[in-house]
Structures are given as structure tokens and as C-alpha cells.
Amino acid sequence: MMPWRHTRLAAIAASAFLLNPAPAAAGGNAFEALFARLDPAADLVVTVDLAEAGRAFKRLLVAVDEAPIVRRGPEIAAAWKAARKAVDDGMASLRKSMGLDPLADLDRAAVAVAIDLRQPRCALVVTGRFTNALLAKWYPDARERLEGKVKVVEDGKGMASAVPAPGVFVTGPKAAIARMATSGFDASALAARHPAFAAAPGEGFLLRASYAAPPWIRSPDTDPDLRARLSILLHAARIVVDFGDGLRVDAEAFDDAGATRLRWLATAVREAVVAYRSGARALVLGALGLGLDSMPAVPPPVARVLADHETLLATLDSFAGDAFVPPEVVPDGRKVSLRMDPPALKATVPVVGVLAAVAIPAFVKYMRRAKLSEAQVMVRQIRQAEELYRSEHDEYLRCGPVPRAVPKSAVPWPGDRCFDKLEFKPDGKVRFSYEVRESRDEPGGIEVVARGDLSGDGRITTVTAGPDGSMTVDEL
């Protein structure tokens, strides 16, 4: 795990992007082509410019490199250098495990969610440097089938993925994957439900989210307890958020009470921006005014940073900028809007940095979960096989680990006599080493353990099924 001070500096880096955000290219709506692969009944649609997120991530690292407190403070510079190396090593590990560069090879993404009480549906479309070879790398043991000429892989949990064309990755419900793969949905229907996407993204665009209330949400037949838990969603007919160089929020309520709630929420966002900016300045100026650098209880490295008043103030000014007039929340009947331009956002809400640092890793986490699903499925199968064996032989078998060494990538199953007795033999390659051992908590019981190096960087992910069948996931 990254040391605390490195994690802290990485968080500072995330907020530093707002120093000088560069605009993205303007033009036609580059997301339109993705909508034909998404369910037109979706209640929530989010589009993200992953290419801009990658550029933003790089810019925020450079921004911290050039911050006065880093350039002039040897101790801060050394700590940041270590944190930067950890970031670089992490990205190198991702490139190796994914087979592509998440900062350079991803383009755009769109997520659609249909809020269905019986079975919510979620679908994802990403453009970038995707190939069927990458699909095989990510899902080495998934069940494959053809939809026309498109190879589809299924994860065994009702979801499926495909690369229906060079540069396009789709994943969604198994029942919908054929239409997702062939652009078989009505893009105009989705655009009609979410008219905000008719407008092309502006300069510096990073994210646009549109929520349209599902038809059932105002139905009197909806369970009262559920309605109570839904809270603000009962009142919000539509919410649109645009984020990039600036922040734009537009919302419309079903009724006057909802309009009041939406206005309060928008005002809370505005106040949070003001509080973050003013609070940061207050903390730094208060520390200088109190002379904390001369207090014995303050750690020497912190005291030395505080003692360099000129550098500290220069860093504060470059990050926080000049004073600004907080924007007003504008009510218009049942509609509410908030506009915050780049100067108002500068170094106040670290959302751009956070999104830049999270949007791409979020996709990576999805791929990581896909790899993890192998262990969860296999461990469950071994556990069931052990129970069946015990019912016939009145004992459990202790097997493995197989493979003996934790794999760094997918490897063929080497075979094992003990696991053969359980009739457990994976058909394809495995990313985990599997073992059945004596339970540490229940004498006579067993634990089924899977260990894998999902990123190829030596960090071991362990999936364990205990004597009671409960499953835990740990990462060293």
C-alpha cells in the first residue's frame, strides 16, 4: 500500500488539474455513435471523454511537478517523486495486465442504466484500441458464442461482452448483447428521452450525466416503503450535469416541493465550493498567523514547509487563485440551474482531478472484477464438489495448491490427482492457484482458497470460502 504521505500527495495532485485545464476539441457530438448500442429506455445515461480524462490525469501530475512547494521544497519534492514513481509503476502494471495504455488507448465511454425494480439493467460502451485478442486476454475461460459474425463472451452471471468492431468494446445483459453488438437500438429514442445529449459537448468537456425519472416512480402502486427510501427521486423529473472546464447543473421537479429541494441541493453544491476554497485559504493563513512552524509539537518536516512563507503563499495563490463572487442558484418555476465557470471552480472542488484519476481506473476495476469472477466461480464449484465427496466418503479432501506457484497471467490447468477425485478440472486457462486446506476457525472443516496476481505486479488477491460457505476477498 502507498505510504500515507504519498497518498496525500496523490490527492493533492488530483485537485491540481484545475490550475490550467486545456480545452478538448469542439465539434459535432462524438458520442452519438455510441447511443445505438444502448437501451433507449435507460433512465440514467453518463458519457465520459476518457481521452480527455487521460490528458487531464497527465496534466495534474505535471501541475504538481511545477507547484512552488514541490520545486522549492526538497522534502516535499522527494515525497512527491516517490508518489509519482508509485503512480508510474501502477500505470505500467495496468498496461501490462490490460494489454493497452489506459491513459492513451481509451477514447469515449457511455453507460446506460435502466432503473427496473425487478432487475436493473446496466450497459457500457467504450471506444478505444480494442481487439478480439484483448477480449480473449481478459476472459480466457469465459463461455464463447457467436452472434452473427461477432464473438461474444459470457461471464456466467447474466452479463456478456464483445468487441463487435475494431475499436469498440461493449458489455451488458446477456439478453441485450446481440443488439448492442450490432447497433440494433434506436438512438433517436434514447436522445428523445435524454434531450441534453442533442447538444455537442463544449470545450474542456469531461462528463455529462442525464437522469430522467422512470415511469413507475410516481405510480400510486409503488410500494410506500420504497417511495420513502427514494426521497429526492420522487420529486426530480429530470437532472442534467455537465462537468469539464466548468460545472453546469439543470434540474426540473414534478412539483413545487421538489423544486424547493432541488434548489437547496444546488445551493449546497455552491456553498461546498465556497467552503472548500475559503477553508483551504483559512487553514494555510491560520497556520502562518499562529506561527505553527515554531511550535515544538509540529513535526520538523512540516515545520520546515510552514517556515517557507513565500513558497507556501505562492502555492496557495496558484492553486486557489483570486477571490471570486459565488454564482447564484437560479430558480425558474419548477426548474433550477447552477453555472460555475472555471475561475469559480479553480482549486476548489477536486472533482476534475478525481474524475480524471477515477474515470479510467473505474474501467480498469471493471476488468479486474471480470478476472476476479473466475476465482469466485471456481471456489464455489470446489466447495460444492467437496460437500458431494464428503456425503459419499465421510471426509473432505485437502488439495493443492494448484498451480503450485501463483500465476502472473492465465496459464493452462496442470492437472492434479486430488482435484481429479473431486471431478474438478477447469476446461481452459486459470489466473488463480487453488487450494483446499484445514479450516483455521472450525476443527474438521475446510477452507477453499484461490490466490491470483491480477495485475502481474506481485500483489496477491485471495478469495476464500470458509466452512460456512461465506466468501471473502483480500488483497495484499
Give the pLDDT score at 324. Answer: 61
- Show me where the domains of the chain are located: 4-362, 375-475
- Range of weakest confidence among 79-83, 271-275, 278-282, 408-412: 278-282
Model confidence band, residue 209 (pLDDT cutoffs 50, 70, 90): very high
Instruction: Give the residue, 228 or 81, on which the prediction is more confident.
Output: 81
Per-residue pLDDT at 69: 79
Is residue 379 within 8 A of residue 163, CB to CB? The reply is no
pLDDT tens column, 370-379: 678 888 889 9
pTM (2 d.p.): 0.64
Average pLDDT value over all residues in the chain = 79
Question: 302: how many CB neighbours lie within 10 A of its CB?
Answer: 14
pLDDT at 321: 61
Residue type, 187: A
The predicted pLDDT at position 356 comes to 40
| Beta bridge partners of residue 471, listed in sequence order | 465
* pLDDT at residue 367, rounded to an integer: 60
Per the structure block, which three cell numbers stand in for 305? 514547509
Q: What's the CA gap between 287 and 293, in Å, rounded?
A: 8
Which set of grid coordinates corresponds to residue 438?
484445514
Phi-psi category of 444—alpha, beta or left, where left has phi over 0 and alpha has psi -120 to 50? left
Q: Which of 183, 188, 192, 227 is nearest to 212 (CA)?
A: 192
Nearest of 225, 229, 217 to residue 254 by alpha carbon:
217
Contact in structure between 266 and 276 (CB atoms under 8 Å): no
pLDDT digits (tens, 9 = 90+) for 366-406: 566 667 888 888 999 999 999 999 999 999 999 999 999 99
Residues in the chain: 476
Q: Exposed, middle or buried, 62 (CB in 10 Å: 0-12/13-18/19+)?
A: middle
